[in-house]
Structure 1
Amino acid sequence: MSLKGKTAIITGSNSGIGLGVARELARAGADVVLNSFTDRDEDHALAAEIGAEFGVTARYIKADMSKAAECRALVEQAGSCDILVNNAGIQHVAPIDEFPTEKWDAIIAINMSSAFHTTAVALPMMRKAGWGRVVNIASAHGLTASPFKSAYVAAKHGVVGLTKVTALETAEEPITCNAICPGYVLTPLVEAQIPDTMEKYNMGREEVIKKVMLERQPSREFATVEQLGGTTVFLCSEAATQITGTTISVDGGWTAL
């Protein structure tokens, strides 16, 4: 499908899943706004590269997703928002009784509250345009849980709840809201962890991926950022007009267990 003429804002999109989603939306013809909390030359250069590669307008806007005002300013500065992809996220692992308060607050703010703030500003723009798509990147941990990830699991469950409310509030309008729930995804961050994990378990690359890293993912294969981008593009298509308020798992069967 063509998303030509649409503007997509993707939070946390100068690497990993967000960048993969931005590239696939640009491939489909959407103008894209990339975002992260840094403001480096390479951030703006990345946007320029995407714009040149796909023949779209691509911009980079700095905004710290832990700060409500900056979340809202991101959408306002973009000027228009037909497609909003709430992707920004961080992680910390610790038992509940040892979990640092500041880490809890940061994860809730970036992984969950940011989606509320960006959506609140984007919805009036979508209503004015007469069309809109909100895609929240949740997680398999938005549907299930793992020990030592209390803040992340709580935030991602919250994102799924926010998705449902957004969908109900826009149900009679040409706006949809859905959540994509990835399992383990092969991002540069995950790729960088493979050598150390191989050394720790004294295993080869394929063995450590299948037996250790993807122990909970029945397919024993990583999802890719391109697959998540393709799922996002599908949710923006006419075929997905009546898909709203739900989750789409891209987790190799994890939540089927």
Structure 2
Amino acid sequence: MSVPEKYALITGASRGIGKAAAELFSAHGYHLILTCSRSVKELETLAVELERTHGITCLPVQADMGCEADVERLFAHVHALDILVNNAGMAHFGLLSQMTSAQWHQIMAVNLDSCFYTCRAAIPLMLQKHRGRIINVSSVWGARGASMETAYSASKGGMNAFTRALAKELAPSNIQVNAVACGLIDTAMNACLSPEDMASLQEEIPAGRAGTPAEAARLIYQVAHAPEYMTGQIITLDGGWQT
């Protein structure tokens, strides 16, 4: 008896959490569609490595996930889908009073509009199979809010509400929607923090350290394979920081 092929789309997969998730899903036999907005060579190299190592197919696509036209172009290549991981995101540190309208709209586009575009396109593919999993990569600041990160916090708060509402909408169709809310994870997104700032943050965390992309990827994979009755949940991964 042949094993059905499995397909996963992971956005923002050239580095950090997205890359770690791509490595984990491919190791479990998933065929992948991976996106990035800028680091194209890194994504293409990753795709080749995953295909060679795990014997899966991996399609790298350059796309701005906050751009509706780019997402439509991406989904022209997607004909079957079991898992959607909305990981593409960006941060902005600074006073709201000094933020431009363009910066605000970019944060909302990349972090929140992207979920609308991808989910809208993915749902018909999942309905064909009467099953599917959507995992949105959120942040603890989506629930707590962070000083100097008002726009980022608002976008992740919106993602959390989006997750809960869409989960209710899709539950009758056996499509589960959950979010993983990360705390401090050691990724390039935090490169703007000085060593002193990073050390200060880690002192606040009961676990005494930042999380790793591999840890976040493992939780994403677990959520993607959780019991079907689990949906609409915002699951925190933060070393006890904001618990």
TM over 0.5: yes
The count of residues paired between Structure 1 and Structure 2 equals 241
> What is the identity percentage for the equivalent residue pairs of Structure 1 and Structure 2?
30
Change (3 A) 1:105 1:193: closer
Q: Does 1:11 align with 2:5?
A: no
> Partner amino acid for 2:121?
V
Deviation (angstroms), 1:138: 0.5
What per-residue deviation string (whole Å, max 9, x for no partner) do you get for residues 42-98 of structure 1? 432221111212221111011112211212332332222211000111111111211
**1:111 shift after superposition:** 0.4
Shift of 1:40: 3.6
**Deviations 1:197-228 (Å, cap 9, x if unpaired)?**
2xxx4xxxxxx75x413244221221111111
CA distance in 1, matches of 2:47, 2:219: 21
Asked if the contact 2:14/2:42 (under 8 Å) is kept, the reply is no
**CA apart distance, 1:188:** 4.5
Counterpart secondary structure, 2:172: coil
- Please give the residue correspondences for 1:170-181 in structure 2 after superposition, counting only pairs within 5 Å: 170-181=170-181
1:84 matched to which residue of 2? Answer: 84
Aligned-partner residue type, residue 243 of structure 1: M
Partner amino acid for 1:32? Answer: L
Q: Distance in 2 between matches of 1:66 and 1:165?
A: 20
TM-score, normalised relative to structure 1? 0.87
Mark the CA change 1:27 to 1:105 in structure 2 (over 3 Å): closer, same or farther. Answer: same
TM-score by length of 2: 0.92
Structure-2 separation of matches of 1:180 and 1:250 = 7
Distance 2:145 2:188 in 1: 24
Structure 2 residue aligned with 1:248, among 232, 235, 239? 235
Structure 1 residues not aligned, in runs of 5+: 202-207
* Superposed displacement of residue 39, structure 1: 6.9
Q: What amino acid is the match of 1:80?
A: A
Partner of 2:59: 59
Residues 79 and 51 of structure 1: CA distance in aligned 2, closer, same or farther (over 3 Å) = same
SS of alignment partner, residue 145 of structure 2: coil
Q: Which residue of structure 1 aligns with residue 219 of structure 2?
A: 231
Distance in structure 2 (CA, Å) of the matches to 1:5 and 1:148: 44
Output the CA distance in 2 between the equivalents of 1:252 and 1:5: 35
1:255 Cα deviation from its structure 2 partner: 2.2
Judged with a 3 Å threshold, the aligned counterparts in structure 2 of structure 1 residues 187 and 27 are, in CA distance, closer, same or farther, namely same
Shift, 1:193, TM fit = 5.9
The corresponding residue for 1:118 is 118
User: What is the identity, as a one-letter code, of the residue corresponding to 1:182?
Assistant: C
In structure 2, the gaps of 5 or more residues are none
Q: Distance in 2 between matches of 1:161 and 1:242?
A: 19
Letter of the 2:241 counterpart: W
Separation in structure 2 between the aligned mates of residue 176 and residue 41 of structure 1, nearest angstrom: 33
Letter of the 1:128 counterpart: Q
- Are the counterparts in 1 of residues 142 and 153 from structure 2 also a CA contact under 8 Å? yes
Asked if the contact 1:48–1:59 (Cα under 8 Å) also holds between the matched residues in 2, the reply is no
In structure 1, distance between residues paired with 2:166 and 2:234: 13
**Alignment partners' CA distance in 2, 1:47 and 1:112:** 26
Structure 1 counterpart of 2:11, which letter? T
- Post-superposition shift, 1:4? 6.4
Query: Within 1, Cα distance between the matches of 2:5 and 2:113?
Result: 29
Contact (CA 8 Å) 2:14, 2:39: kept in 1 or not?
Answer: no
1:105 and 1:92 mapped to 2: Cα distance? 12
Tell me whether 1:214 sits opposite 2:178 in the alignment: no
CA RMSD of aligned residues (A): 1.9
Shift of 1:180: 0.1
